[in-house]
Structure 1
Amino acid sequence: MVIGTSQGGRFLPIDLAKAGRKAALVEGGHLDGVCVNSGCTPTKTMVASARAAHQARRGAEYGVRTGPVSVDLAAVRERKRAICRTAGRGRSARRRSSSTPLRTNLLGRGKVSTRDRLVPYTVFIDPQLGRVGMTERQAAEQNRSVRVAKLPMSAVIRALETGETRGFMKAVIDADTQQILGAAVLGVEGGEIMTIIQVAMLGELPYTAMANAVFTHPLLAEGLNSLFMSLDAQ
């Protein structure tokens, strides 16, 4: 029995039934669960509307003159609903992938575990916060010798160009192996920048690979060069 649809619950019983298993689905609300209907998607659409209003009110900082800026909440709500309807139809692949570990284990096709997985998170505040892996404290608790790289967003060219210079990038490095143990990015699109570091961690790349990588200029990701190169000056 699967209780709740959410990300993967809608597809798990279908896949189990196709494999000859008896399966039942219990859902007390929307078939697609909380995320599409009242959680992730609708809240982020409203954050986007709020950001648009905020940027419009900052127009003078960019040399743009505007009249009074107002928010039409009815229009914001209609935009949210339209996007949620579209998201509900177009996210089947993402939601199906969410049930893959359970499906694999229940059908006896292997053993999938979440043990030691890199589980990132992003907090949609302003500026955005993205985090993955260990903190300095957690590394110390494991008696690891670490080096710490830190770079203010004001040192990232793209952030300067867009006027979004609040925050910083930070990475924790294993001093013995040069592996990236963890990272935090507090800044514009912090979650997106963090994800690049996460991919490097999944590939077990040394920090030097990021320091020497050629990123498109000028992107926020280019700041990762400076972040990891800063270790050479320590």
Structure 2
Amino acid sequence: MRRLTVLGTCGAWPEAAGCGASGFLLEYDGYRLVLDLGYATFPRLLEHCPAGELDAVVITHEHPDHCADLSALSRARYFAPERGPRLPLYCTPGVVGRVQAMEPTESLADVFTVHPLPARHRLGPFRLDAEQLPHHVPHAGLRLTAPGLTVAYSGDAGPAPALARLAAGADLFIAGTTLQDGDPDDPHLLSATTAAAWAGRAGAQHLLLTHFWPGSDRARSVAEARAAFAGRVTAAAEGMVIDLG
């Protein structure tokens, strides 16, 4: 089974009951990894995967809408009747310190083995290639490649040439698209139009829009992306499952 499950889609904070911030569960032939764990994503993760059955966690950067529920995962594993081996955690500088600050007594080092990003790593069936992307804090864009599948993830970053490398030929390109056409330019964020242009340049097959600013018109973002990209465009929604073949 190869699929992506959307745990949360909101930028900044969950905009309504039932929503979550950034988070995805990627499954490949029994291997399970999480991409980001923002506000309110951990309860949705438990609907699909018990905390003890994860194989790895990847966090793009230290903003809490991408890492806050790493604290919940840490506690669930720390206090489990059988804690098990430490879970590989791949993250940028600042993530561990940010999450550890919420936990005054239990050390994240007792739960996770930390590996730095951006870098290249092997995660089960995946090769992880991560590159620095422009944002307000250190941020890693991701490319995950396994036999027959490539998934790219921009996180919450702005445009850069690295996007073309990360998303080159990707079956699925997950793009944080906070901005809409007409919003003030921000070199640290993407709009749907800009993400679509990079998806086309990279030859990606399917563009999944996410990280919507609370109150924004998601249908508008989809329309803007479709005007700039000939491939498949989808707006992420909590609980959505995408079959990856």
TM-score (normalised: structure 1): 0.26
Higher relative contact order (CA 8 A, sep 6+): 2
Bigger Cα Rg: 1
Q: TM-score of the superposition, structure 2-length normalised?
A: 0.25
Higher-strand-fraction structure:
2
